[in-house]
Structure 1
């Protein structure tokens, strides 16, 4: 795996230190890849995470949002089944925990299971006071109206 050096970006990006640190951390501590997932951007403010969770029932999955972190857990309960002896086991039957770092103002708006895929819908809601606004230069805007 390639190591990315974000050092040149620190000089031209102000206030993004945390973002670059998280990117470096995720590049070095890559998840094991289970379960596989997709992240889809549907438009500027809507996203969808799709996870392949075949073999898990709705009640075995737990989705939690804590501040800017989304945590998805899958727990398989032993049903009193006897230990199986596999000649080849290509289907992972194990518990998992997958964490996603969410940007500010992103929240989970829904989740659904369909054909072994867990879809988690996310939406970014920027507060009115955080949206861009026009700034008058040297009060010129005020003098012209008088």
Structure 2
């Protein structure tokens, strides 16, 4: 098994769902390193003390940006962000930024339980899958 670095984020109305999802996939998730925003991280550590969870700041206080920076630095292999589509989020721009960075840097990104289920049950999750790295040569070499 390749130890993956997994970012965990959940809107308030979805935190219980994320905790339950982790419990349902305890075996597949064991041995990986987790980075979680504020309250999400505290709840994950409380419910699953066997997991290696590094807490970050609360999302609206910069935790989303911390995860974004980790993605840009190549230090996150998977982003699991249980989004609440029914509640307006004051930091919606942070959600959009994480979505953009996960897409830009070509890392797996689950924003709901079904997608997260598919990712952790895939043979690629347990194996040594490495996504094709993003190529920014054209962008970085452009003339301004």
TM over 0.5: no
Greater fraction strand: 1
TM-score normalised by the chain length of structure 2: 0.26
> Which protein is bigger by CA-based radius of gyration?
1
TM-score normalised by the chain length of structure 1: 0.26
